Amino acid sequence: MTQADVSASGDSRVAHDGRREDDGCPILHVDMDAFYASCELRSRPELRGKPVIVGGEGSRGVVTAATYEARKYGVHSAMPMSRAKRLCPQLVVLPPDFELYTAVSAGVMAVFRDITPLVEPLSLDEAFLDVSGSIRRLGPPAVIAEQIRARVHDEQGITCTVGVASTKFVAKLASTQAKPDGLLVVPADRVVAFLHPLPVGALWGVGEKTEEQLTRLGLRTVGDIAHTPVDTLVRALGPAAGQHLAALAWGRDPRGVEVPEGEKSISNEETFPRDVDDPEVIHRELLRLSEKVASRLRRAGVAGRTVSIKVRFADFSTITRSRTLRSHTDVGREVYSTARDLYDALGLQRARLRLVGVKVEGLVEAADATRQMLFDEPELGWREAEQAVDRAEARFGRGSVRPARLVPGPEEPDDHGGFGGIQPTAPRPGRG
């Protein structure tokens, strides 16, 4: 099976019996393409298509990342800089900017967590996602994968590759095969056909020494391992490694996506279809993002005390501002009020913006948060009102209830791609 075996068209993923190729494939492995180098090229478009590496220039410098154009010359990460330059004298060497990479990674992870709360980051530039709970709202796994690829490109200006499969192990192999800037679905009933032609080195846990041992046994492909008695593998590699490889060779991987405990922040960002310089449009977007963040806080049973905004300009330069509140909150009205004040204090005066974002940090369990009620807040306050909205959306779908300011006018597209007017927002089937 190759990347060409799976079409990018949604219709072509449906078999004659009505089943989709991504049925039973809720695990996604998303991996950024040449991450550090791609981040650098956002502000250096003139270098696109050239062999570029990120790394130290000193006598002991090593390559941290390389574009795919550089990799064609045999250059790869962890290679001594001197050797990389011998392989490709025309290399463009850029110093690393880890603050930039951390900021871009945070934006990418925010996209993932907007899709599903089941996100297991592996590093700054890759993660596993379990989208089982998002299928009813966003569509089948392959459609969700395409949405992720589009949002990462639009919001962060870089590309990523996604593997879609029934297990973490196979999803990671799929993304590796689809690189760069690709998508590969491995149907649940074709896992064995996908795995068995691969070299033994593709299996997790097979390093250089283990590969040598397997080669001495005459085992060169995953299929060779699959058809070798487990006892033979155990005698050669030991009980743990032998049984582990035997299971992987048949696609058996029982591990689920493991979410790190203690999520430190919840955020949402939006990239505008066109650069925006109208403060009213930006205020309305801040309101929409604040409502989304607050809703996610309440669903997670947490409240936060620090509200931050992110503003990205047309040239990709980015600034952030934050404010710590008197007490923790999970109320959209309070988040928006703070976010708007932070934005207005910037005094941008019609600056062209590409993206805005809202984040709440300093999270604690909502039950433990001591929240001071505002003096002018009624007995049943804004939190109770927003909880009622949560219940309505759980029953009728996202967007069934929203602030009047977020109901689009007759000529404005709404969040679902339709158009507004004076009519109230109708519940949308299947958007719960």
List C-alpha distances in Å: 73 to 45, 99, 136, 375. 21, 29, 45, 68
Res 428: pLDDT? 30
pLDDT at 179: 93
Residues with catalytic roles: 126
Please report where in the chains the tokens 């505002």 appear, as a residue.
374
Please indicate, yes or no, whether the overall pTM of this predicted structure exceeds 0.75.
no
- DSSP letters, 63-91, are EEEE-HHHHTTT--TT-BHHHHHHH-TT-
Contacts of residue 154, Cβ cutoff 8 Å, sequence gap at least 6: 271
Known binding-site residue numbers: 31, 125
Classify burial at 396, counting beta carbons within 10 Å of its beta carbon; exposed 0-12, middle 13-18, buried 19 or more: middle
Residues whose CB is less than 8 angstroms from the CB of residue 339 and which lie 6 or more positions away in sequence, other chains included: 286, 289, 290, 307, 309, 358
DSSP run (H or E) holding 148: helix 141-156
C-alpha to C-alpha distance for 234 and 256, rounded to whole angstroms: 25
The pLDDT of residue 297 is 87
Report all structural domains of the chain as residue ranges with CATH numbers, in order of start: 1-195 (3.30.70.270), 196-249 (1.10.150.20), 265-372 (3.30.1490.100)
pLDDT attached to residue 119: 92
CA distances from 289 to 103, 207, 337, 429 (A): 19, 45, 12, 23
Q: Where are the beta strands (DSSP E) in 114-264?
A: 119-123, 126-130, 160-165, 183-185
pLDDT computed for residue 207 by the predictor:
83
Binding positions for Mg(2+) = 31, 125
C-alpha separations of 66 from 30, 38, 94, 127, 364 in Å: 19, 9, 10, 20, 40
On whether the CB atoms of residues 267 and 292 are closer than 8 A, the answer is no
pLDDT at 208 (0 to 100): 83
Q: What is the pLDDT along the chain (432 residues), one digit of tens a residue?
A: 334 344 343 344 554 455 788 899 999 999 999 999 999 999 899 999 999 999 887 667 889 899 999 999 999 988 899 899 999 999 999 998 888 898 899 889 989 988 998 999 998 899 999 999 889 889 999 999 999 999 999 989 999 999 999 999 999 999 999 999 999 999 999 999 999 999 999 988 788 888 888 999 999 999 999 999 999 999 988 998 899 999 999 999 988 998 887 667 888 888 888 899 999 999 999 999 999 999 888 887 888 989 999 998 888 888 999 998 888 999 999 999 999 999 999 998 788 998 899 999 888 877 655 444 444 444 445 566 555 665 555 554 555 445 545 545 444 434 433 333 323 233 333 323
Question: What is the H or E stretch that residue 153 is in?
Answer: helix 141-156
